[in-house]
A and B are shown apart, each in its own frame.
Chain A
Amino acid sequence: MNVYETIVSFITSAIQFGTPIILAALGGVICENAGVVNIALEGMMRMGGFFAVLGSYITARSFDPILGGIDPRSGNPWFGILLAILVGVLVGLLHGYISITLRGNQIVSGVAINVFALGGMTFFLERFFSTTGHSPSVASFMGQPLIPGLSGVPIIGGIFGNLNVFNWLALILPFVIHFYLYHTAMGLRHRSVGEHPKAADTLGVNVYRIRYIATIGSGILAGLAGASMSMGQLDLFDNHMPSGLGFIALAAMIFGKWTPIGTLFASLFFTLASVAQSYVQSAAPQVLKYIPVGFWLALPYILTIIVLVSFVGRAVAPAADGTPYEKGEKL
């Protein structure tokens, strides 16, 4: 492998490993900038990941000549994405209803969603696929470049020619959301609700509506993040998903100071650890003799802890993050 190829493979895998983290962390950014804490990213990802696979699976129609029965790989993966988004909307609404309308504790709501996702998806896996391990392989976007024509283009082709639909979203959405938050009137209102909802309310900004938009948007992004694991990195839902990536995404959001572009780079930083691990395993297995594989697997989590411990104190969250807003509350 020459230097160019090494770099290309490094960047490509950083994007591929980083995609779910970036998408979920953006969900956190949207939510928390409107003042609603979302620790339910993990659970939302898990649901998105499962229902994406289910969506693809239930649209399968063609007959499998070898095994008999319907071939699960003949479905429509786009329907999977649609279902993941739909589920995201519903969970976002639920989190919104609890923390905005009922003014419940946002952490408790988040924990409840995470716990529900853990048990609920295991139940559904059993119910639909009669297993607690993983679903069958379905039609997916794994290894399906969105714009395959790019691979012929010199220099960038090596990287961009391989990106699937989720990878593209992860690269483009941070800038879209940045534009929304910092360059549109709606974005100004969005942030004002996260900083000082009462002030926003006195100026006629609809605090509840913006917060609902935020939680629902957050649900969609986290749902897509889950789908990017089960339908982008793999073509099946594994019961271990998303194995803590939702929490790493939270860390990336904090490390990225609640800004979309900061979060993009923070997510890529965390991903480096995963990339390093896979690189060591495939290209330099002799290293494993000295530093065991367990350490490499734990590296992303270790980095998360180090970063959170050293940066959390300095990172400044939106001022009203986590505070329910009650109209007409006594001043």
Chain B
Amino acid sequence: MAYAVELKNIKKVFPGTVANDNISLEVEQGEVFAIVGENGAGKTTLMNILYGLYEPDAGEIYIFGKKVENNSPRKAIKLGIGMVHQHFMLIPKFTVYENIVLGEEFVKNGILLDRNKAREEVKRVSQLYGLEVDPDEKVENLPVGIQQRVEVVKVLFRGAEILILDEPTAVLTPQETKDLFKTIRSLKESGKTVIFISHKLKEVLEIADRIAVLKNGKLKGIENARETDERKLARLMVGRDVIFEVPKREKKPQDVILEVKNLVIMGDKGIPAVKGISFYLRKYEILGFAGVEGNGQRELVEALTGLRPVKEGKIIIKGKELTEFDPWVLRRQGVAHIPEDRRDRGLVLPFSVSHNLFIGRQREGFFSGRLFLRKDNIDSFSKQKVEEYDIRPHNPELVVDSLSGGNQQKVVVAREVSYEPDILVASQPTRGLDVGATEFVHEKLIEQRDAGRAVVLISFELDEIMRLSDRIAVLYGGEIVGELSAEEVTEEELGLLMLGLKRYEKREVPA
């Protein structure tokens, strides 16, 4: 029997990088085939080539034994390939069925959009595979897990035999991930081939039959899931041994340094995004906020750092009320901020590494005199930081935009830590980073905690929250639905809290 997919010597070069270097692999029909690798290893590029979004510079593609020429998404769909993209390809303002039939619409009377037929077909396909969706709901009103389901239905509606799932679990809660895995297994049972892209090794080991490892655009090996383990895969992926456990010294929290009382913060749509939350934070402590994206995390971070006004409630830092809508003041009071989007808020991309390392502190005497910047001081400061944080390449004069994501994040972390803050607010500090860079950022956060600082950690990655936090608060619908000590919590329980299926009564904040 012919392979479902056969790639032969695929090569793709982007300006400055070889994204795929001579990759050959075969995927059998009816198997779940995983592709793992760090960010920038070339996984997504490879799949975009298979799906016809990119033209390969060299190499051949065979689908069910037939050679594919002049590939395009339209052609790939016809050949039975469906792709669920990492960033959903859904139109928020359109309904579920409009999104599903787009490009393959049913037509009556020559030109009229046949909406009823569309609804029926969407229902039929979704029931066939046990993927219930409401055809008339607008996509923007759906939770992420359901949006992903819509994507899968969209692909099945087009008659896909081979499904490519690009980092499908990145945005899901543990429960939603379980549902997804159930779906994948049932797809496999009905004879579909699934290609699963991920950098989460645990998941891949759970769901895949075979696992291909990519590194720097090269295929490092294909492993049978049953005969391999996390360490082995990680070594192939990173090229060295990876430490999964972060060494953390014993807890020794001291006095309360940050107190938040009945905080209400308005969201962008003019309705409260954070609805009266209270919590406290002590020195030598990391408080992790778990939760699905969009449950008030962003607004909370912005209020804590002075980027968004507080509607009601108080923020008390070191015993002083500082409910300020002014980042300058808060920074001077010892609040540093690693923002969730380093490219948007963390860095001035066209500026050099050196300037990004002290920006925000340009009024300090060390960095500037009356009129001019003190180039000597800036140079020695940035040289030292570049060494200390191993920001590569080791050249502070480079434009920060030209650095890799991990090194860009190192610049942000280096700057924020250099404030020597009392409170470090870290929002999604490892988003989009590969294993190595993640490890580095985690070490730094722990280091800050052990140096007596208080860290607020916001992350959508449960693993990260559980690994780093001393205490965990779960945000759901703008409220804290549970506050737990990191030792006693299970992933299961956090998942239930995150989905709003369980909640604890409010705990009083100690005076």
Cα A319 to Cα B94 in complex, Å, equals 12
Q: Is B368 an interface residue (CB 8 A)?
A: no
> Which of A81-89, A198-206, A213-221, A240-248 touches B?
A198-206
Of B14, B83, B103, which is within 8 A of A189 by CB? B103
* CB-based nearest A residue for B72: A204
Interface set, chain A 308-331, CB cutoff 8 A to B = 319, 327-328, 330-331
Cα A203 to Cα B100 in complex, Å, equals 9
Judge whether B103 and A203 touch: CB under 8 Å. Answer: yes
Q: Is A185 an interface residue (CB 8 A)?
A: yes
Q: Is B278 an interface residue (CB 8 A)?
A: no
Q: Is B98 an interface residue (CB 8 A)?
A: yes
Shortest CB-to-CB span from B459 to chain A, Å, is 23
Shortest CB-to-CB span from B326 to chain A, Å, is 24
Give the size category of B's interface with A: 20 to 34
* CB-based nearest B residue for A196: B91
Q: Is B238 an interface residue (CB 8 A)?
A: no
Which residues of B have CB within 8 Å of A327? Answer: 53
Contact with A along B46-62 (1 / 0, CB 8 A): 00100101110000000
Give the size category of A's interface with B: 20 to 34
Q: Is A48 an interface residue (CB 8 A)?
A: no
Which residues of B have CB within 8 Å of A101? Answer: none
Contact with B along A162-206 (1 / 0, CB 8 A): 000000000000000000000111111101100110111111110
Judge whether B73 and A201 touch: CB under 8 Å. Answer: yes
Judge whether A192 and B48 touch: CB under 8 Å. Answer: no
Cα A202 to Cα B72 in complex, Å, equals 9
Of A184, A319, A331, which is within 8 A of B92 by CB? A319
Judge whether B102 and A331 touch: CB under 8 Å. Answer: no
Which residues of A have CB within 8 Å of B14? Answer: 330
Which residues of B have CB within 8 Å of A195? Answer: 91-94
Judge whether A204 and B113 touch: CB under 8 Å. Answer: no
* CB-based nearest A residue for B54: A328
Of A184, A185, A204, which is within 8 A of B77 by CB? A204
Query: Could you list 14 A-B pairs, sorted by A, with CB under 8 Å?
Result: A183-B112, A184-B111, A184-B112, A184-B113, A187-B113, A188-B98, A188-B113, A192-B91, A192-B102, A195-B94, A199-B99, A319-B93, A327-B53, A330-B14
- Contact residues of A with B, CB < 8 Å? 183-189, 191-192, 195-196, 198-205, 319, 327-328, 330-331
Contacts A185-B105, A188-B105, A203-B77 supplied; 5 other A-B pairs, CB < 8 Å: A187-B113, A199-B89, A199-B102, A202-B83, A319-B93
For the complex of A and B, 8 pairs with smallest distance between CB atoms: A204-B74, A203-B103, A185-B105, A199-B89, A195-B91, A196-B91, A204-B103, A184-B111
- Contact residues of B with A, CB < 8 Å? 14, 44, 48, 51, 53-55, 72-74, 77, 83, 85-87, 89-94, 98-99, 102-107, 111-113
